[in-house]
Amino acid sequence: MGRVNYKEDTIRAWQRECVDRAILTLREVERQLPKQLDAQKAKFLFELSYQLAVPIFWNSLTTKHSAYENEREYRLILLGALQELGPYIQTRLKGDHIVPYVAVNLDVHKAGNLTGVRVGPTASAGAELGVEVLLRTNDISPDGRLSRSSIPYRAT
């Protein structure tokens, strides 16, 4: 779980640090390993690419344009091999699409865990009512917790 970062200079620094560390490691390996160790080098490079991909992937998933900073989001990301997650994957319909997800039990009743629900700019007109009903069904007052994003949605 990680807090979303909305500051472009911080995001660029995160990504630069990942790449710089990988380049330094590669240079050190190239300097130290003799030519006869090509198989070990290939294995190492594969592992390095994995180790580089994970932080870049994480950074990408936990960053957003500064226009959304007022949302103060957190992202919960569940990592694992598909065969391990398979038994937990559920699906739901969203329009005419099937959306896979893994249900995560979050204690929304604990004070401070649910501070607000922001409905996206393209959600249907009844979305707020749906969220309000969901909150009330779980004995959570929607008063002061429910709002709609005013940021214009631009699909690219």
What is the Cα–Cα distance from 82 to 73, expressed in whole angstroms? 26
Q: Which has more confidence, 86 or 79?
A: 86
For residue 91, what pLDDT is reported?
A: 94
- d(Cα 82, Cα 87) in Å, to the nearest integer? 9
Question: Is residue 63 within 8 Å of 5, Cβ to Cβ?
Answer: yes
Token pair 């401070």: residue = 112
Q: What is the pLDDT of residues 92-124, one digit of tens each?
A: 998 899 998 888 887 877 877 788 888 888 888
pLDDT, residue 102, reads 87
Return the half-sphere exposure (C-beta side, CA atoms, 13 A cut-off) of residue 116.
14
Confidence of residue 35 (pLDDT cuts 50, 70, 90): low
pLDDT at 138 over 60: yes
The pLDDT score that the predictor gives to residue 133 is: 94
pLDDT at residue 98, as a whole number: 94
Q: Which secondary structure element, helix H or strand E, spans residue 105, and what is its range?
A: none
pLDDT at 155 over 60: no
**DSSP β-ladder status, 2-3 and 117-119:** unpaired
Please tell me the predicted confidence (pLDDT) of residue 34: 67
Residue 136 has pLDDT above 70, yes or no: yes
**How confident is the model at residue 92, as a pLDDT?**
92
